[in-house]
Structure formats: C-alpha cells, structure tokens
Structure 1
Amino acid sequence: MSHLLVRLSTPQKATLRRYGKEGRNRKSDIAAAVQGAILYAPSYHMIPASKALASALLYHEQIGHPFKKAREWVTKVNDFANQHSPELQSLTQIEFPPPQDIMDTLEDDGPEAEEYVNAFHRAVADRVNAIDFLFNHGNPGPGPGGGVPQDRGPTPTRPLIGPDGDSGRVEDVVKVIESPHEEPAPGVPGKTGIEQPATTVTHASIEITGEQRQVASVLNVFIASPGDLSEERKIVKEVIQEWNRQQQHTSQKVLLISQMWEEDAVPILGEGLDGQAVINEQLLDNANIVFALFYGRLGSATPRHISGAAEEIERSINRGIPVHVYRSKRDPSAGHDPQQYAELQEYLSDLEKRGLIGSFRSHRELRKKVMRALVRDVQLLLGR
C-alpha cells in the first residue's frame, strides 16, 4: 500500500475504497447511456448525427441521470481529497466534467455530444484509475510525496466515442439499418371492427466503420395509470432502467424503452384530435408491453372510453400485446372520490373476467413483480 495512504485513518481508507467502487458504477452508467443512445439515435434521422446522439443522450439523462450523478461523484471525491490529505491533491487536478447541462449539446454553440461524453468519461475513469493505483502502487501523479515513474502511472483512459473509442465515431455509431426481418404480430380487430396496429419488434443493426458490430432488439414499454400513482409510475421506469443495466454485460442485445405520456408525448393540436388520441398515435400504438397501475381512481373519461387508462388497456389488449394490470392494496385515503372508486371497482371486476390482475402492498413488491413480468415478456416476444 502507498505511503500516502498510511497517513489516512482506517475509516478514511474505507471511504476512499467506497468512492472507487461508486466511481466504477458511475463509469458503467455513462457507458450504458451511450450504448442506449446509440440504439435510440436513429429515430432522430432528420437532424445531424451529433445532434441525434445528443437528443438520445438527453432522453437517457432524464431516465437515470448518469451525467448528473457523475458530476456529483467527482465533486465528492475532490472534497474528500481537499479535506483529508494534501497528498491526494493529484485527484483534484484531474479534469472536471463539463459545466454545461446535457441540454446544451443540442445548441449550435454548445459542446459536441462526442466531446461532452468523453470528457465525463475521462473525469470519472481517470479518478477511478488513480484511486486504484493508490491502493496498488503509490502516488498517481505529481504532488507532495510523489516520485512514481510516469511509466508506472494509471492506465490512460480510452474515449467512449471517437476514431479510437470503444463505440466508434458519431457519424458511424448512429448509422443504423432497420433489419429487413421485422416481426409483426397479426393485427387484431378491435371493438369497432377496425384492425388495431400490430405490435412490431424492431431489430436495430448498428454498423460501425463498415463492420456489423451488434444486433439489438428494441421493445417499447408503455406505463399507464390515472394521476394518483406518480411515485409508482417512476418505480416502473426505474425497474426498466435496472433491467437494461443487468443486461448490459450479457449476450442478450435487448433495449427496453420506457414510455410515459407526461415525458414522451409531443403536444400537438389538430382538427378531430384529443389528448388521448395523440398519446395513442405517438406512444401507445408503438408499444410492445403495457403496465397499467391503479389505486383509488379510474381516471377521466375520453371521447371513446370510460377513462384514458382504460382506453389504453383495451386498445393494447385488442392488439394482442402483453398487458399487466396491478392495483395498489393501500387503504384509500379520505380524499378519494367515491364515484371514481366505484367506477374503478366495476372496471377491475370486468377485467378479472378476462384474465389475472396483480396487486402490490409496497414499492418493493411492485419492483419485484414488474421485473418478473419483464423477464417473461422478453422471453415471450423474442424467444429468449
């Protein structure tokens, strides 16, 4: 162990080790966001490659905040180095993440998405390497008590994106070709007699510098509910993100994209349109999986159905895609509308005649049940 670390107390050494572990998680989060953005970027095919990647990265930042968490981690490590040991000042001399928000990469005068990602990656990875080097060799760089030869320093960090990067150049990584063998499920006539859109699993083949690198299947997961379950909606989105993280180092190339009307629907007005119709067209009809959550309300009526959530369920059942309905078993609060509660009871009773409804008493139980359903759905839809 380095003579620099000998000057730290045992709790301080444990803290530094923990920061190293956290840093590896932050580095992994950024890499996962980049890989997810690479798969998602081709949907922005009308804008330049760098801006398409920036738009896709913004989507992933809104889901898991990988760049925000990375900046917070770097600040924490620097504060520790400043407070506890002058000999650790070399950690504070490592590049700091860009001060701009990921949104700024969309501006013409903002940073390029490629450099933005690589700068964050360097800021985290170089500190992780330096911490690991401290525990294994000695001083990671110049500073009081230094003297480790340069050729024995931490391994230089490779860029995530670029000619020498792990993911190739921006212009190449967003060049995605839709597989000619998409797998549509047969359309199913709806209650109106009109055939509803069939579900399609997209197979995205990523071409990097002329070489087929990987083929990934993208599944859209729509989250439906009335307005009294905002926390539970976020939990379903977090479980989807966790599923993607778990699959990151497996042979399965599957990306699940969460879809929530309040985050992903684009406001638009037009003759004959209503809010639910817009959500149907932009999100619901492209979904491969639907999770519907209820507590004490059924929701507001639409021109076609008793509520928006009910319309989303019925439309998805008619398309033949997996639809999972879960009800919170918490006691309804005193503020619940008795009429809404009665309508919910009646609708759920009708659904129970057509299948199985799940329930949950805690957020932990909801997480477990959503993860179990996702595993089953991926196996069902992709045969894996």
Structure 2
Amino acid sequence: MTVKNLGRYFALSLAPLLALQVSAGNKTWSGAGEDARWTTAANWTEGAVAASDTLRFDGAVHPVTTNDFAVDTAFAGLTFLPGAAGFTLAGNRITLNGDLVNQSPAAQTVALPLLITATADRTLNTANGPMTLAGSLNYNVGTTARSYKKAGAHELTFTGATRVTNLYSRFALDEGTLRFASGSTFHLVDFSNDRNIFRIGNVANKQSAIIVEPGADVALGGLTLQMNGVTGGTGSFSLHVNGGRLALTGTDNTFGDQPGNRATLVINNGGLITNTSPDSITSFGTRIPASLTINDGRAVLGQLSFGRGNTTGPRLGGRCDVFINQGDLTILTKLYSNTTSDPARTNAITLGDGRLGLATFSTPNIARPDLNGRVILNLNGGTLECRNTHT
C-alpha cells in the first residue's frame, strides 16, 4: 500500500465511526444563531436538532432558550455541561425519554413542561449544581415497575405542578434537598401500596431532606424511609413542613426501615401532615432514632406506631421522640406506644413548651405490642385527650 493510498484508507476507515457519532444525536448548544430558538440550526454546534436527539447546553450565549418544536416532541435527555452558565429552558412541552442532569455549578431552570413516559427508569441529577423545575411535570403510562429519582447533593426545586399517574411508579430521593416551593403541587395518584411510593435514602451515608414551603400541596402516596442500612452510619433525613400541606395517601408509611443513621420531621408555621385512612399506619423510629417536632402546625394520622406496630424483631429496635410545642397531634384509630422492644431505647412524648393550652395530643386506643418497651409522657403545659379505652 502506498503512502498516498494509506491516507485514503484511513479516511475510509474513519467514515463509519464518524457516521456513528453523528447518528448518536448529541447536539450541543452554542447560541451562535440570531435568536435563541431550538429550531435554529446555527445555535447547535453539530447542526440542526431532530427528534430523539440528546440536548446539551454549554457556554453563556443566549442562555434563555425557547423550544419552538411541536408540543411533546421527544428528546433523549437534557444535560447542562460543566461550562454552562445559568440557563432557562422555556417554550413548548417536550417528552423526556432520558435523564435531566446538571454538571455545572450554575443554577439551572427548566421552565418548559415535561412529559415523562414510564418506559424506563429516569434520573433528575443535581450532580454539581441546583436545578428548578418551573413548569409542569407529568409522569404516566406503563404497566411495569419503574423508578424516577433525584440524585446529586445539590437542591432540586419544584415550583410548578407535578402529577404522577403511573400505578407502578417509585420516586426515590437518594441525596440532597427536594424543595416544594410556595404554590407548587406534587401528587402521586392512583397509588398501589408497594408500587406508587416515595422512597428516601436508598444510598448509604448520604444526607437528604424534603422541604414543603407555605402554600405547597404535596401528596406522596406511600412513604418509605430506608436509609440503606449502615449500622452507626452518618446518613440522615429531615422533613420540614413549613406551612404547606403534606398528605401521605399510602397505607404503610415507614420512617427508618434500616439500622443506623437518623431521621427528623418538623412541622412549622401552620404546616399540616395527614394520613387519615383508619387502616393506614405510620411507623416512626423503625430501627433508627427518629424525632417528630410540632412547633406550630398539625399532624393527623390514622395509626401511629413508635417502632413497627405490626411485626417483631429488629424493626422494634428504633426510638421515637415526639415534641408537641405548639399545635396538635391527633391519632384517629390507634397508638402503638411500647413497640420499641429494647428497654434502653425509651420512647418519649413531651407535650407543651411550658405555656398553657398551646399544645394538644389526642389519641384513642393505645396498644402495647411489646411489654419490654417503655414510653414516657412529659406534660409541660399541653393538653392530653384520651378517647375510648386502653387496649
């Protein structure tokens, strides 16, 4: 083979590879066009965008973009590259057939509506910086178990309306803060107890939090705090209802179903937590220490268990501390009080903060699944209302 023909040989050999790279459909925003529209070919380094491409945003030119493709055009993913400035993606709704990832330290805003079909697992990843979903998000379709999760240590904020109607969906909060802003809605509907659920803490030794702001309306279906068991681990979860409404619509809600780590739940500023089905049970302090603090708000629960009221063994090894400083905690059906089986791990309820009449604890039947456990009631100016009889 001559040297002259050798160059031609390499050119022919590289042609299939180059074609493969183009067909992969990665399109990177350059903003070089005269406007900020997605259909403007000059705005993309690789040329015109087509449906099913993966869109990547980089640089700082024309950071407020407009999707002017037809409504529900499908794209294979949205990624903000490490060099991206703070972008705002506006315009028509898209079908997102892939992940949403922020690799940049800059805050990103997705203002256009998103439709996610449950044909595969999806990830909302705040890997290197925060993101805000300002438009609506709908997650539907599918008859098999799928999960969509929040990954990454940075904050993900919902300011729009989210509606999950896939019966088999699972939402997982692996790490970082999930904030529901004032006026936002987030509803898991058509739930099936172990299917449409909100899982928290699937990654060991990570810190995660949910914040429900004033005016936010959040319904999470079944809620499971797993913490991915590392005994003596450093993981933590906190739930702050700061004036908004959080409804748990599942029948079996568990705070802490693995050993190690810790969990806190705080209700402030007139916040409300409800799980009102008489058959529903909220197990608090299962295998891990957990605390519930009501500073100015209300919690209404069908059944409350310190530990796990309907089982035995290590699920009874947690501990629960309840502080009702101002507001009320109402149990509709039954309180499982002595469910922690380790005598050294005493459950405690502190009612009131020293001021009279500002805190109320109302409960009907009280059950003691484990006679070795202990519970302490500290009356500190609050009102205790015992309804029905002791069982």
Q: TM-score range by the shorter chain?
A: under 0.3
Determine which structure has greater relative contact order: mean sequence separation of CA pairs < 8 Å that are 6+ residues apart, divided by chain length.
Answer: 1
Higher strand share: 2
Tell me which protein shows more helix as a share of its residues. 1
Query: Normalization by structure 2: what TM-score?
Result: 0.23
